[in-house]
């Protein structure tokens, strides 16, 4: 069987006086080399993309992290300058893409900004500057050091007993690289909390009643997917689901 193909929504970037539609190599590299799936990068147009036509041609969806944040108007709040930066083209694609992937029982893995988009797409809310909340730790990326130092695995999370992730990486405590200043506030009604940080921050969710793999994680399994066992297992589980979906569609 040929390799399955997944949809990866692009971010809008500005480089050399031009607008680029791009995805980071860590995500598409982990998809190819660990999950065993090739990627179609979907341009972040605010209008014009046909979500169902896109999903007709792929076997799964990977929603990546990004520097931008989901616009607060999409979860009922007024935007302030510190809530940014924003990427309206990405928002316009990821939210309907998430909803339709779930409705069509397609494998779905949402990472960092992706878990926040998953929560918003299904009716939840977000909180900005989580480190400013009483009792919370600072989850932000360290200001100093190189990229590998920033993404080092340093924070414990606890995987809930009986959760989808427990079936992938086992229940209990694992170490992750969670880097964010926004987080889930009100959990969407159709999401189940899969993992939490020691300060109670939601670190992973799954879609209740999903007919396929549909998981969001706040940390970055893509970064060390080739060397860290829990990170690798998450991408392998996603890849297994994508291949099974493709096989069923071809049968």
CATH of the domain at 151: 3.40.50.880
**What confidence score (pLDDT) does residue 152 get?**
80
Query: At residue 176, what are phi and psi to the nearest 5 degrees?
Result: -135, 175
Cα–Cα distance for residue pair 32/117, rounded to 1 Å = 23
When mean pLDDT is compared across 82-86, 101-105, 245-249, the lowest value belongs to 82-86
Cα–Cα distance for residue pair 189/118, rounded to 1 Å = 12
Encode pLDDT of 189-216 as tens digits: 999 999 999 989 999 999 999 999 999 9
% of residues, the chain, pLDDT over 70: 94
For residue 148, what pLDDT band results from cuts at 50, 70 and 90? confident
Cα–Cα distance for residue pair 120/231, rounded to 1 Å = 24
**What confidence score (pLDDT) does residue 1 get?**
67
Asked if residues 42 and 89 have their Cβ atoms less than 8 Å apart, the reply is: no
For residue 130, what pLDDT band results from cuts at 50, 70 and 90? confident
Over residues 3-24, mean pLDDT: 94
Over residues 30-58, mean pLDDT: 97
Cα–Cα distance for residue pair 74/124, rounded to 1 Å = 10
Mean confidence (pLDDT) of the chain: 92
**What confidence score (pLDDT) does residue 147 get?**
82
For residue 250, give the H/E element and its range: helix 229-250
Domains held by the chain: number: 1
Asked if residues 65 and 217 have their Cβ atoms less than 8 Å apart, the reply is: no
Report, as residue numbers or ranges, the catalytic residues.
Answer: 112, 220, 222
For residue 134, what pLDDT band results from cuts at 50, 70 and 90? confident
Flag whether pLDDT at 133 surpasses 70.
no
Encode pLDDT of 150-179 as tens digits: 788 889 999 999 999 999 999 999 999 988
For residue 135, what pLDDT band results from cuts at 50, 70 and 90? low
Owning domain of residue 103? 5-250
């Amino acid at each position: 069987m040929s390799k399955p193909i997944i949809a990866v929504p692009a971010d809008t970037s500005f480089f050399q006086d031009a607008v680029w539609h791009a995805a980071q190599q860590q995500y598409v590299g982990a998809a190819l080399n660990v999950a065993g799936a090739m990627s179609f990068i979907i341009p972040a147009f605010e209008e014009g993309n046909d979500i169902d036509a896109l999903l007709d041609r792929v076997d799964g969806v990977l929603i990546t992290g990004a520097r931008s944040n989901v616009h607060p108007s999409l979860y009922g709040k007024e935007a302030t300058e510190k809530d940014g930066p924003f990427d309206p083209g990405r928002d316009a694609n990821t939210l309907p893409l998430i909803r339709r992937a779930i409705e069509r029982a397609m494998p779905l893995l949402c990472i960092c900004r992706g878990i926040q988009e998953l929560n918003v797409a299904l009716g939840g809310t977000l909180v900005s500057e989580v480190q400013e909340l009483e009792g919370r730790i600072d989850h932000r990326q360290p200001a100093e050091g190189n990229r590998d130092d920033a993404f080092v695995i340093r924070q414990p999370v606890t995987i809930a007993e009986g959760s989808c992730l427990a079936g992938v990486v086992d229940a209990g405590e694992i170490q992750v690289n969670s880097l964010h200043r926004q987080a889930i506030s009100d959990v969407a009604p159709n999401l189940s909390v899969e993992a939490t940080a020691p300060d109670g921050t939601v670190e992973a969710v799954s879609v209740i009643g999903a007919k396929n793999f549909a998981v969001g994680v706040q940390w970055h399994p893509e970064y060390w997917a080739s060397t860290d066992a829990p990170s690798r297992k998450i991408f392998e589980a996603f890849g297994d689901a994508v291949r099974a979906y493709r096989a069923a569609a071809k049968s």
